[in-house]
Structure 1
Amino acid sequence: MQKRLLIDLSTLPEDGKNVSGELPAETFDLPEGDAKATGPLEYDLFVQRFGSELLFTGTLAAPFEFICVRTLHPFIQTIRLENAAVSLEIGRDGEIDATEALREEVLIHFPVDPRCEDADEPQHCEVDSRYLAVDKPDEDDVETAPRAGSDDRWTALDALKDLKDQH
């Protein structure tokens, strides 16, 4: 497995060529607490030069572990782009590193609100009724967060409202 996708413009045929392979999961380098790459970035692309542009078209795929926004359970979802098109400006001849552009193309297709029903192996995706405020029974086992020590700025604002009502 190569660490970077490098295209040597001096050996690139004028009518383009196919490139395929895998880049390591570390390519994504996501912050702690975000989604986590669980496998390599697989690519099967056709690359061709058009003047000062290098165009990659084809398939990109990488599996990620997301946290469901409804159930708060982790799940695996593969981001698969069947008709990916990535364009890079060419400043000079030599080697062009397309790794970052492919990484970004996958990242912009992350789900906004990841749900486990969209997982590679879909799961039942429903909010636990204990956490719903509507029609909540009085005898549930979920503790209510304490108000003591809460943000005093709201209390100060409430006091101002009370002063306004007195005039």
Structure 2
Amino acid sequence: MKGFIIDLSVLPEEGQAFSGEISESVFDLPSNDAKAVGPLRYDLFVQRFESELLLTGSLSAPFEFTCVRTLHPFTQTIFVENAAISLEIENSSQIDATEALREEVLIQFPADPRCDDADEPHECEIDPRYLAVDKPSDDDVKTRPRDEGDDRWSALDALKNTDPER
């Protein structure tokens, strides 16, 4: 995996612009999470200030999310327009900024991804068959709330109030 490594020995004092991309494998997300479907693209200006390296510019990467309303997958590109990343310079001639760029994109993930925010928006409507609490047994929905014989909640039902004041 190619990362974003800055060679401080050749970095001009006035700074330098960098553009490129890093493979989507940099995100290394769990299988049940969002999935990177393209590279992390960066367009950054890098400047050194004494013991600090400042990276400013933009980042973007496309991801496949699952809509919280429809449960359908969709693609949304995460954009970080005004990224400002500060890295401390230690005693090395090179700085690997890959992880900092990765984190800057990941913190922009939507808390509740919805397909109407996709790159190509879809209608984000909940199927009304899933809104009813008590489902008739003849519907075509495979899993109904609290099917007959479902005892997953019996442990909670068996709890007794342990507060002596009540």
- TM superposition score category, shorter chain reference: 0.7 to 0.9
Aligned pairs (5 A) from 1:71-110:
71-110=70-109
The structure 1 segments of at least 4 consecutive aligned residues displaced by more than 4 Å after TM superposition are 136-139
> Aligned partners of 1:137, 1:91: CA distance in 2, in Å?
62
What's the counterpart of residue 68 of structure 1?
A: 67
What's the counterpart of residue 12 of structure 2?
A: 13
Matched-pair identity in %: 63
CA RMSD of aligned residues (A): 2.0
> Aligned partners of 1:113, 1:155: CA distance in 2, in Å?
31
Per the alignment, in what secondary structure is the counterpart of residue 96 of structure 1?
Answer: strand
Give a deviation string over 1:128-158, Cα, whole Å, max 9, x none: 0000027x7756433524242513312322x
> Aligned partners of 1:17, 1:46: CA distance in 2, in Å?
6
Give a deviation string over 1:39-92, Cα, whole Å, max 9, x none: 000000000011111111001000000000000000000001111111111112
TM-score, normalised to structure 1, is 0.87
TM-score, normalised to structure 2, is 0.88
What's the counterpart of residue 46 of structure 1?
A: 45
Closer/same/farther in 2, CA of residues 125 and 25 from structure 1, 3 Å limit: same
> Aligned partners of 2:12, 2:22: CA distance in 1, in Å?
23
**Is residue 154 of structure 2 the alignment partner of residue 155 of structure 1?**
no
Segments of structure 1 that go 5 or more residues without pairing to the other structure are 162-167
